[in-house]
Amino acid sequence: MWHTLLSLLAVVYAIRWIVNFRQAARSLSNLPGYRTLLHSESNLGNFLPKIRGIVPGTNFPFIDKHSVFAWAGCDIVGHVSMFPCKADIVVADAAVIKEITTSRSRFPKEVTQYGTFSFFGPNILASEGEIWKRYRKISAPSFSERNSRLVWDEAVSIMNDLFNSGWENKKEISVDNCLDITLSFSLYVISAAGFGHKMTWKENKAIPPGHLMSFETSLYTVSTYVLQRLLLPDWTVGLTKKTSQIDLGFKELRSYMIEMIEARKNSEEVKRHDLLSNLLLANASDGESEGLNADEIISNVFIFLLAGHETTAHTLCYTFALLALHPDEQEKLYQHIKSVLKDPRVPTYDEMSLLTRSMAVFNETLRMYSPATLIPKCSAEDTTLTVPNAKGETVVIPVPKGTNVFLHIPGLHYNPKYWKDPFSFYPDRFMQPNWNKDAFLPFSAGARGCLGRKFAEIEAMVAITMLVSQYKIAVQEEPRFAGETWEQKKERVLKATRVLTLTPVKVPLVFTRRS
């Protein structure tokens, strides 16, 4: 009897879930797209690979690129899941994305998805409305022209230190994973130009008095294991050596940030232009509000650190991999740099606008390997979105209030409607004056566009220009891969996973000093 009753209950619940699932799909007029048992943002869905009909997969936007939109015949698709039962909209149309990013009242940012980044306190990334406006007002002046010059100078100094000290002017340097180089470079730039904390390639491992971990190790630990720490209950952090080390990394990073803040507050006699000094100055002079409290300063400093460190490092790693795989494009870039820097010297900040191919190479890498793959928004009202389908017909899509709307960046960046031969590495597309800026979204857009965009572009241009001007880049030859084709090598070297952002798995390169 009990067995029969339980079976009946199971059938009733199954029917109910199926009905709810169909109702969710109908709320979007049965818009074609993803239909899965689990949502990609659910706790379990966050860690599972792609399983057709079960879960899209942890890195589904990058893996699918524009294919799901091509299959649906429309650059807006639906994503309907059963657990939890919900219906989202996913967009890869440039005009619709521009409408969404410029309509903040209709489509505010879905900040609940950024709760991961609030463990130090409220911040600009995980806020919206009046609180976000307050953070933006105080933070924006930090990214000044003087700071931009400082970024350039510090990046040049760090690259010179890499060549002379880190690599000791060797003729050839082999690295098993280029990400180790770009993560360190990006960290040193954000440390120096962001917080006045200078680091060198040979002295960064030292643990200062009062600490149990170096600054570099603490930031690496936090950026690598932020999701794991979020999911770990506090009582579990000391159960294993690994969880203890993760917890220590978070505590140490907070301690370092407090020290940085106090050091800036107590150095009034020195005029500084790093981000932290500018942030504290803007905070102190903000007469229209109470300014940021200690937790808000620490949390926003952390966001600058994390965003400025990981995203640029990953993009630079992909840049050097792509140049290694495309020696013809590398030679074009080298010749362009030589035409600007006629003498063997480092580039100056005033020459940045002349280094157009360095910027084009960086932009093409961002197009192909954008750090963020989905940008979440939410519909604040019942509304509609209008898009043409593959047949040229106008499709009006209902967007009920509360619906999550995701901007699908790889879908946009690989959309053949905007980019000819989108799977090819072709920096020349960004050398044209009329390239489609609305179809390029690595830094988001609208009012929520990335504050640190110029910071990232400057440090990337320095790294690309200086490295290519002095070294040839090639993929490291390994006997076990001797028989692979170029396509197989490309797939191996450019393999990506998703942690916080799109992340290179392993990029083995060789840098050979030019004559």
178 annotated as ligand-binding: no
Residue 359: CB atoms within 10 Å: 19
Q: Scanning the structure block, which residue is given the tokens 């969880």?
A: 243
Helix-helix angle 294-325:453-470, to 10 degrees: 30
For residue 245 the two structure tokens come to 């080390």
SS (H, E, C) 74-118: ECEEEEEEEECCEEEEEECCHHHHHHHHCCCCCCCECHHHHHHHH
Pair 439, 413: CB distance under 8 Å: yes
Pair 77, 70: CB distance under 8 Å: no
- Burial zone of 76 (CB within 10 Å; 0-12 exposed, 13-18 middle, 19+ buried): buried
> d(Cα 57, Cα 425) in Å, to the nearest integer?
26
Residues 6+ apart with CB under 8 A from 237: 229, 243, 244, 246, 247
Give the residue among 71, 88, 70 at the shortest CA–CA distance from 79: 88
Q: Could you tell me whether strands 76-83 and 33-38 are parallel, antiparallel, or unpaired per DSSP bridges?
A: parallel
Give the residue among 501, 437, 458, 406 at the shortest CA–CA distance from 95: 437
- Burial zone of 11 (CB within 10 Å; 0-12 exposed, 13-18 middle, 19+ buried): exposed
Largest CA distance in the chain: 90
Residue type, 221: T
- Known binding-site residues for heme equal 450
- Known binding-site residues equal 450
